[in-house]
Amino acid sequence: MNIPYLILFCSAQIIGLILILLRKKFRTLPNFILKLIFINIIFHYVYYYFFYKGFIALDSNWPYSVVPIATMAPMVVYYYVMSVLYGKLKFTKVSLLHLLPFAINGVIFILYLNTYSLKSTYLLIAKNILVSLYLIYPFLILKMIGNFYQIKGMSLSIFNYNKKRTSLIKLLCFMMSLHFVILEIKTNLPLFVSGSEATMDIINLSFLMLLGYAISYVIVSEPRTLHLSTEKIGLGGFKKYDKSKLTRELAEKNVIKMNQLMETEKPYLDPELNLSSFSQQCNISSHEISETMNGLMNQSFNDYINNYRVEEFKRLSKLEAYKNYTILALAFEAGFKSKATFNAAFKKFTNKTPSQFLKELE
């Protein structure tokens, strides 16, 4: 396979996405950081292109140049997620820890420059440090989203709170984890199998091409993953009602308060739960709850409650104590009031029927 031609083919996809984001209506902080992610990918393409054209020698210092750029990618994705959640970047003293991999690889680079016989060893160490970040950062992102909703533990179910806004985040987390596996093999396989470098480069380039197409698909299928300049950016793109006094900051506090109640008291288990009774338990007015859910979370009250019930059904179905329960009995245990509502909600939030889910579970 002609690798330079593959690189040019892959680059066209990413350049197209960058051109889309250059449009005036997409000039927002999340989209700006998203462009940095795409530019990072383009840099890799440029490096590989010059390498396979023979302009970069393996024994020169240029192969190390890919290390800081690749090290930056997971951190950029992390701050992209932060910008989607909060509409701004938050920096604290803990944020300095993100610079630790750069500091370590900076020391290794100094050692790399001052030796000839150990160049390949230092380069291998630096690459393994950066590869580990592609596994670490997806967990940091899950933790950040969990903290936003005040949810303990880590679970992919956190993406269900706002599927439309977080579909691209979910994709990036999954692709980072997959990229970790590819980069780990690409970095270390040549130690055991000679001549595997070119094959792994093709696999890595093909992955980056797949990433470009996957991002394009998500953007086309769910346009709200791109943030418009007319929106107030935060998770869900908070939209304020006319003459309303509710701010995005207060709406975010309401979400935290509601989620804490749902996690600790589990009011969704009551099939008679309605907006009025939930309002009394939260000590938030019904109107403010509705405005918070519609404006910030892009969800109706029924979807919000039923999402928890679906997750409860999935949790109960895995417990030995409920093995002999029928599907409908489990649905009632999870707080659903009717079979029709349960089936519709389960399909909506999982894209599966309850029977399909249980069959896969078995």
Q: What is the DSSP string of 208-235?
A: HHHHHHHHHHHHHH-GGGSPPTTS--ST
Look at residue 79 in the predicted model and tell me its pLDDT. Answer: 94
User: What are the tokens at 266?
Assistant: 């589990």
CB-count burial class (<10 Å; 0-12, 13-18, 19+) for 206? middle
Specify whether the CB–CB gap between 37 and 83 falls below 8 A. no
Residue with tokens 């659903």: 336
According to CATH, where is 1.10.10.60 located in the chain?
A: 248-361
Class in CATH terms, 248-361 = mainly alpha
Instruction: Give the whole-angstrom CA distance, residue 351 versus residue 357.
Output: 10
Look at residue 149 in the predicted model and tell me its pLDDT. Answer: 67
Specify whether the CB–CB gap between 26 and 227 falls below 8 A. yes
Class in CATH terms, 3-225 = mainly alpha
The mean of the pLDDT values for the chain is 85
Look at residue 125 in the predicted model and tell me its pLDDT. Answer: 93
Instruction: Give the whole-angstrom CA distance, residue 252 versus residue 238.
Output: 10
- Residue from 264, 251, 268, 269 nearest 305 by CA: 268
Instruction: Give the whole-angstrom CA distance, residue 196 versus residue 211.
Output: 22
- The H or E element spanning position 170 is helix 163-188
pLDDT in tens, 142-166: 988 887 766 666 677 777 666 667 8
- The H or E element spanning position 9 is helix 3-21
Look at residue 254 in the predicted model and tell me its pLDDT. Answer: 87
Residues in the chain predicted with pLDDT less than 50, given as ranges, are 232, 236-237
According to CATH, where is 1.20.1070 located in the chain?
A: 3-225
Look at residue 167 in the predicted model and tell me its pLDDT. Answer: 84
| Amino acid code (one letter) for 291 | E
User: What are the tokens at 88?
Assistant: 């701004």
Q: Is 270 helix (H, G, I), strand (E, B) or coil?
A: coil
